[in-house]
Amino acid sequence: MGQGCNPFLPSWEYIPDGEPHLFGDRVYLYGSHDRFNAPMFCQNDYVCWSAPADDLTDWHMEGVIYRKNQDPKNRLGVRLLFAPDVTQGPDGRFYLYYAFDLMGIMGVAVSEAPAGPYTFLDHVHYPDGTLWGRRPGDHFPFDPAVLTDEDQRVWLYSGYVGDVPSISTGGKKLKTEGGVVLELEKDMVTIRQEPKLLFPKEGDGAFENHAFFEASSIRRDGDRYIFVYSSQHNHELCYAVSDRPDGGFTFGGTLVDQGDLFLDGNQDIDESKGLNYLGNNHGGLLHLGEDWYIFYHRQTNRHSYSRQACAEKLTLNPDGSFQQAEVTSCGLNGGPLPGKGKYGTYIACNLWSKDGVERVDGPNVKKRLEAHPYFTQTGRDREEDGDQYIANMRDGATAGFKYFQITGAPRVKLELGGFGSGTMQISDTPAFDHPSVIHCNLDGKRTVCKGVLPVSNGVKALYFRYRGNGAIDFHSFELY
């Protein structure tokens, strides 16, 4: 096996909304496809990545599997492909479900193989041919999750809570009351049972403090159905469980939060106390043997439009419930990272300024985040030799990495850039008790600074805090 980190795909790849599925002996990852430094979500065509089921560190790019302009309602490619899902249908073929941004219809494409290529099949519609989303009062089609059950019945989940301009939906006013389910015929496109509200955004049936917002995902595990979704807080993924696919779900808890809010039962929702920058979240569960994983995404570049795929292993309790996963740098590695070697700082799982963190969406984002550190890259989108790093570390900015297996008394080399004069403090605790201190004076050129790592043997986190003037860039560190 190789070495795995978060994000687990190459640093130049931006795949949010990840849905992992095991088909045969490989895990296939389907998701939206962001563009580096883009002005909007999901500007690239769908691609697929896959890995052997016995080595989730070895990801292979399968290529483009579906293009925006393959849908006859988007021949000019101006509509964006939002979060997709894939299922193997009763006929053995593979079906890709997608929604075009806020257009309010759902498309379906089909392939003979899980990695595509996929060809357009149809849009989800009622038996009379009316497209779902084009009847007044329809639930808004968005973020599909699809399940071909063991009895070969096909269930499609969807939902969004928010304002949708009627101009985007053909002038129709559609419902955005929460998460819904409908049943499809075996042709995979015709509605057999009409949409039913399962996860209301408010009132009776809503999950207190963790109500449904978007990002539907569904799995079956034995006799239970596990529904994953993004809550009203938007930066966490929660789950609910039922013994049937079309109702009776009870709240299970939080699976992962981008900033580790809610961890260990903490219900303090002061977002500034998060351990990383916050924005929308979307992902799904993967079950391999006795192991469970939650896939999610993180934000980069001080906005919501360049998101990257991450994953964490989950702990399953004896009663079948999941513990919330801690966000880490080692992700799919199967354990801590070696305490020797060179690491790009893009694998930081914790990042904050002296004033904490902010959301990377909402009003006045650019102004609010001027003094905050952030992940970015050199080069343009999809340049494989691009260097992703942490930029704009000002006084008090901290980057945290979890976890490393420290042995011996390693030293450390820091590769820094930018303009500033001060020190980089290093510790294995965020309180920086008895830190090592490395002096650095930067004039815009890449500079290597050396020091001692003040960490005893064992599985340790590493925190780096800049104290000084100016704004520095943190490119890499080497433990040796």
Q: What is the DSSP string of 239-259?
A: EEEESSTTS--EEEEEEEETT
**CA 381 vs CA 13, 172, 263, 303, 458: distances in Å:** 8, 36, 34, 15, 38
CA quadruple 271, 274, 279, 281: dihedral positive or negative? negative
Torsion of Cα atoms, 101 then 103 then 109 then 114, to 10° = 20
Rounded CA Rg of the chain: 23
For residue 214, indicate whether it is catalytic: yes
Q: Both tokens of residue 204?
A: 């009776």
Which is catalytic among the residues 13, 17, 71, 257?
17
For residue 315, give the DSSP letter: P
Which is catalytic among the residues 13, 214, 358, 473?
214
Longest alpha-carbon distance in the chain: 72
Amino acid identity, residue 101?
Answer: D
Cβ–Cβ under 8 Å, residues 179 and 198 = yes
Bridge partner list, 229: 238
Q: Both tokens of residue 98?
A: 């997608």
Torsion of Cα atoms, 48 then 49 then 54 then 57, to 10° = -160
Q: What angle do CA 11, 15, 20 make, to 5 degrees?
A: 115
For residue 17, indicate whether it is catalytic: yes
Catalytic residue IDs? 17, 214
